[in-house]
Amino acid sequence: MKPRTIKYYIKEGFRSVIHNRFMSIASIFAVASSILIVSIFYIIGANIEHFMKQLESQMAMAVRINRNISAAERAELERQLLLLPNVARVTFQSREEALEGMVSTIGEIAVEGLGGVNNPLRDAFFIELTNLSHHDEVLRAIENLEPYGAEQVDSHAKIASALSSFSQITQIISAALMLILSTIAIIIITNTIRITVNARKTEINIMKYVGATDWFIRWPFVIEGMIIGLLGGLGPALISMLSYGRVVEFIQSIPQLSWLEFMPPEQIMAYVFPLSLLLGVAIGLLGSITSVKKHLKV
Amino acid sequence: MIEFSKVSKIYENGARGLCDMDLFIDKGEFVFIVGTSGSGKSSLVRLLLKEIEPSGGEIYVDGQDITAIKRRHLPYYRRKMGVVFQDFRLLKDKTVFENVAYAMQIVEASNLEIRRAVPQVLALVGLQKKAKAYPNQLSGGEQQRTALARAIVNRPPLLIADEPTGNLDPDTAWEIMTLLEDINDRGTTVVVATHAHDIVDDMQKRVVALRNGELVNDIGVPEDEA
């Protein structure tokens, strides 16, 4: 393909968008509304996953350490814990720090006389998992570390299991919704583009008689579809970018929901912006190719 | 240039398009195909354009068996011929210049070649002053002349015209026929399917008459073909 032919396709694509401006605008709105819905579901899904990760990180296991082991043995236990699969982080907490924590939670009077040598608490390692679904296997592995000084493991087995299941269900629902909505969007766009192409079937017919190849006819339509898709994707991308931060601020201003920690705007936009544009271009491309196809058999 | 050998066309509904037709048209000839509606004129033109396939027989155009041409090679075959239809079939959102240039763009001609060839061919059909007009700003005759310009701009060896004067008044029809004769004088083989008997009678060219899909008369065949 010669560069002047590529230039011709691009010029014809833009010209067609402008020439059929009413249908183009209708198509752009159809693409934009579909992608906006997909983007909203993506943002909701991503934030639910974000909440889950935060909760997971708070679901640490506490491994109580045998009082009689030395500092070197304790270091070895820490090393063994870090070697376990699916362990993300190991944090040490001394018995003094644990007691201070109790004081701040239940008050000084309740722990009076329990300082120094009378402290009944034990040093502990707090373990964060890469994923809560591995909770049970990590628990069993830690129980095997008793010879290294791991005496007792406190975990939130039931909560961890429930959270893990909820997280998985959320991910599946979110992915299914995205897929369904994207499919609906493609169907809407294909039909919209089909109407524009149908209106121009005589034109395609003439091109065929003059000796144009299928791709020579198809390319301007494809470029037109991509332009419409890109413009349709740009709208939701900008809407998401401008409104996400404000929506988050509004939700956090509600006292009951102020504890919710959302994904930072720049992090979520790094996905939503290109996703909207790519989805728009892909929908336009697919829609135009399938719509032109049936008119080419002349 | 064109050879039909025992060509038949039976449509899916059982209608007979052509029946065992033998026809030879030499390079540089000007041939009228005449007959009433349903005589087989349109079937003959559609077969030449490879818009439909014959039910039997062989068709050769410029030495090539066109029944063997694959669909993906069809555009390259169609570039060997110019086609003019009764309803002009111009691209309505393109100007006269652009409609003619389109035929050159599909063969990836350079802008320089397009800028040189299109005005020449528009001058030939007398439309140099209408280059920037859109089809809906033209008369029927002007639209047909634009279609003619588009058909010949790539200098195809064969020009097929299907009822080119069907939508035109007698004077304009004569103008178009004169143009077709000019084009033929420049070496292009011209095949015109028409039912305009007065023009056919006056032009004194070879006339192939069809009836019910059969060739019933062939008048004015060059001596070497007869």
User: Does A178 fall in a domain?
Assistant: yes
| Shared-domain flag, residues A7 and A68 | no
Residue B16 sits at the vertex; the CA angle it makes with B10 and B19, to the nearest 5 degrees, is 85
User: Does A86 fall in a domain?
Assistant: yes
List pLDDT tens digits, range B213-225: 999 988 876 666 5
Task: Domain of residue A136: give its range.
Answer: 60-155
Chain B residues within 8 Å of chain A (Cβ atoms)? 49, 51, 71-72, 75-79, 83, 85, 89-93, 102-103, 105-108, 110-111, 150
**Nearest CB to A209; choose among B49, B93, B110:** B49
Structural domains of chain B, with CATH? 1-80+156-226 (3.40.50.300), 90-155 (no CATH)
**How many percent of chain A have pLDDT more than 70?**
94
| Shared-domain flag, residues A201 and A266 | yes
A200 has pLDDT over 80? no
Q: State the pLDDT at residue B10.
A: 94
| Shared-domain flag, residues A101 and A17 | no
Indicate the SS3 state at residue B182: helix
Taking the CB of residue A296, how many other CB atoms lie within 10 A of it? Answer: 18
- Chain B nearest-CA residue for A15: B93
Shortest alpha-carbon distance between residue B206 and chain A (Å): 26
| Shared-domain flag, residues A272 and A216 | yes
List pLDDT tens digits, range B46-71: 999 999 999 999 999 998 999 999 88
Q: Total domain count for chain A?
A: 2
Q: State the pLDDT at residue A48.
A: 81
User: Does A160 fall in a domain?
Assistant: no
Q: State the pLDDT at residue B127.
A: 93
Residue of A210, A215, A218, A224 for testing the chain B interface, max B β-carbons within 10 Å? A210
A188 has pLDDT over 80? no
Q: State the pLDDT at residue B190.
A: 95
- Mean of pLDDT values over B203-220: 90
A245 has pLDDT over 70? yes
A155, A189, A221 - which closes a domain: A155
Q: Are A207 and A8 within 8 A, CB to CB?
A: no
Q: State the pLDDT at residue B148.
A: 92
A211 with B75: Cβ contact below 8 A: yes
Q: Which secondary-structure segment (H or E) carries B75? A: helix B74-78
| ipTM of predicted complex | 0.80
pTM above 0.90, yes or no: no
Contacts of A139 (CB under 8 A, 6+ apart): A61, A153, A155, A157
| Shared-domain flag, residues A177 and A280 | yes
- Name the band, by pLDDT with cuts 50, 70 and 90, for residue B195: confident
List pLDDT tens digits, range B78-106: 988 999 998 889 988 899 999 999 999 88
User: Does A146 fall in a domain?
Assistant: yes
A123, A155, A187 - which closes a domain: A155
- Mean of pLDDT values over B177-206: 91
A138 has pLDDT over 70? yes
User: Does A185 fall in a domain?
Assistant: yes
**Nearest CB to B111; choose among A4, A202, A297:** A4
| Shared-domain flag, residues A46 and A172 | yes
> For residue B85, which residues of chain A lie inside 8 Å, CB to CB?
209
| Shared-domain flag, residues A176 and A50 | yes
Q: State the pLDDT at residue A163.
A: 72
Residue of A206, A213, A221 for testing the chain B interface, max B β-carbons within 10 Å? A206
Contacts 24+ apart (CB under 8 A), B69-74: B71/A297, B72/A213, B72/A214, B74/B50
> For residue B91, which residues of chain A lie inside 8 Å, CB to CB?
203, 206-207
| Shared-domain flag, residues A132 and A240 | no
- Name the band, by pLDDT with cuts 50, 70 and 90, for residue A99: confident
A172 has pLDDT over 90? no
CA–CA gap between residue B77 and residue B89 (Å, rounded): 19
> For residue B83, which residues of chain A lie inside 8 Å, CB to CB?
209-210
A102, A130, A155 - which closes a domain: A155
Q: State the pLDDT at residue B226.
A: 54
Q: State the pLDDT at residue A41.
A: 82
| Shared-domain flag, residues A255 and A109 | no
CA-CA distances (angstroms) from residue B201 to A195, B191, B219?
A: 47, 16, 11
A211 with B106: Cβ contact below 8 A: yes
CA–CA gap between residue B163 and residue A233 (Å, rounded): 48
User: Does A298 fall in a domain?
Assistant: no
User: Does A252 fall in a domain?
Assistant: yes
| Shared-domain flag, residues A182 and A133 | no
| Shared-domain flag, residues A179 and A269 | yes
CA–CA gap between residue B59 and residue B37 (Å, rounded): 23
Domain of A141, CATH number, reads 3.30.70.3040
Q: State the pLDDT at residue A59.
A: 67
| Shared-domain flag, residues A69 and A111 | yes
List pLDDT tens digits, range B111-159: 899 999 999 999 999 999 999 999 999 999 999 999 999 999 999 999 9
Shortest alpha-carbon distance between residue B166 and chain A (Å): 19
Torsion angles phi and psi, residue A178, rounded to 5: -60, -45
User: Does A11 fall in a domain?
Assistant: yes
